[in-house]
Amino acid sequence: MKVQVIGCNHHTTDIEFRERLAFQPNQVTDALDQFQKTHPDTEAVLLSTCNRVELYTASEKSAACPSHKEVVDFFAAYHGLNAADIASELRQLSGEEAIRHLFTTAASLDSMVVGEAQILSQVKQAYETANNGDFTGPLTHASFQAALRVAKRIATETALHKRRISIPSVAVADFASQFFERFDDKTVLVIGAGEMGEETLQYLIDLNATDIHIVNRSIDRAEDLASRTAGEAQPWEMLDSLLIKADLVVSTTAANEPIITVDHYKDISQKRFQRPLFVLDLAVPRDFEPAIGDELGAYLYSIDDLQAVCDKNQRARQRELPKALEIVESETAKFMAELNHRTTIPWVKQLREQADSIKQDELARLINKLDGLGESGRKELEISFDRLVNKLLHPPLESLRDDASKGLEHGLLDALKRLFQLRE
């Protein structure tokens, strides 16, 4: 019985290398299909994301599992690469190491941004794709289902995923959502057409924001952003009237001076009847004069404010990491104990059958010799033989179970096979 993973990730390889090896979502089933043609007795799951390309393989018969070279050849052949060029970059992990890696990956502890939520859905997707194509089996079912469980446990028992670490996500989830109950009835004003503004806007659209206005000095860029996201491009001259109407402002212009000064804001605030305004000033240099934040009803957040929260959240995630790794360790040990126990089952069964066969032969021989034993005597004899066999087998099987829970590190299974001449 063997579980292994062969592949590369962002820790060991650069993005150019990973791009060459990456499988598009529509290629995964085809790739697994080709792989299984050469390895029919192997279960396989292919995880291909922008940060990793990993092929998880498992087989009840260790010999059926592909070697490092075979997997390298498969990757090279599929992508039309030279196997020698990629061989050294693909690392192999087997058994406990492979399981630990899978658990760590699914729980987003191995991600570039620790705790990011996307990887879990990617692992789930990879498993489902392999499952739908019938490339999985008992070992991959057990290991991937356990990985999803571990990820869920870490999400529940640690605060690793609770804290956001990108500026747009912090801006929307940690602040805007604390300000507004819903976004579908809010007027969102986007000033400028910067990348950060677009990302933030996307988060707001995900929260059902629909009344979106985009103003930019170049109306073409505003229209371009509106066409890519949602909302309506407005001429720059509309800025003041839109500020009076807006509930939430995202500002990302490239202006060298603040576009809204305190005095300007005071005029606008008066026309808003002091209605609170939530402003995400994501521009550098800032679009809103910082003193606006002191005005009544103005909630002004600059990129530095948000970055400080992101950094704080990142540090908080790091503090949660040991707890999460502890969970991975205990779950890996538990999983391996179960897996090793499973490995011993066919041998234990064979040993018991062998002992039973000897018992039956000896019992039959003895009963033939003892005339007039009677039914009750025969039963007593049978019970006695059963007890004898059980008592003899109990200590070695107990030791084997202990050894299995510790990873069969003492080689008791091999010893058992040799001592009792058990054959595959």
Partner 1 sequence: MFSLLGAEWMSRISLSCFAFSYAITMILEISRIFFRVPVRWAVIVLITVAGLFAHGTFIWLKMNTADGGTPVASWQQWCLIVSLGLAIIYLIIALRRPENAFGVFFLPVILALILIAMAADDTTGFDKTHTTTWSAIHGFSLLAGTISVALGFVAGIMYLIQAYRLKHKLPPRAGFRLPSLEWLQNSNRRTLWLSTALLAIGLLSGIIINVQRHAGSEAGIPWTNATILSSAALFMWLIATSIFEYVYRPARQGQKIAYLTIASFVFLAFVLTFVILGDHASGTASTSGVEVSQQEAGS
Residues that bind partner 1 (CB under 8 A): 156-157, 159, 162-163, 170, 174-175, 177-182, 273-276, 293, 296-297, 299, 301, 305, 308-309, 312-313
Minimal distance in Å, beta carbon 313 to partner 1? 7
How is residue 276 written in tokens?
A: 């609170």
Minimal distance in Å, beta carbon 267 to partner 1? 15
Neighbours of 390 (CB within 10 A): 12
Handedness of CA 111, 112, 118, 122 (dihedral sign): negative
Asked if residue 285 has a cis previous peptide bond (ω within 30° of 0), the answer is: yes
Q: b/e for 269-286, b at 16 or more Cβ within 10 A?
A: beebeeeebbbbbbbeeb
In the complex with partner 1, the residue whose CB is nearer, 52 or 164, is 164
Catalytic residues: 50
In the complex with partner 1, the residue whose CB is nearer, 3 or 243, is 243
Greatest C-alpha distance within the chain: 117
In the complex with partner 1, the residue whose CB is nearer, 276 or 411, is 276
How is residue 237 written in tokens?
A: 């001259």
In the complex with partner 1, the residue whose CB is nearer, 152 or 349, is 152
How is residue 245 written in tokens?
A: 């109407």
Task: Answer whether 325's CB lies under 8 Å from 154's CB.
Answer: no
Minimal distance in Å, beta carbon 163 to partner 1? 8
Q: b/e for 5-37, b at 16 or more Cβ within 10 A?
A: bbbbbeeebeeebbeebebeeeebbebbeebbe
Question: What is the DSSP secondary-structure string of 316-337?
Answer: HHHHHHHHHHHHHHHHHHHHHH
Minimal distance in Å, beta carbon 162 to partner 1? 6
Task: Answer whether 60's CB lies under 8 Å from 1's CB.
Answer: yes
In the complex with partner 1, the residue whose CB is nearer, 2 or 163, is 163
- The C-alpha atoms of residue 416 and residue 401 are separated, in whole angstroms, by 12
Minimal distance in Å, beta carbon 214 to partner 1? 23
First to last CA, the chain: 12
Minimal distance in Å, beta carbon 123 to partner 1? 23
In the complex with partner 1, the residue whose CB is nearer, 101 or 163, is 163
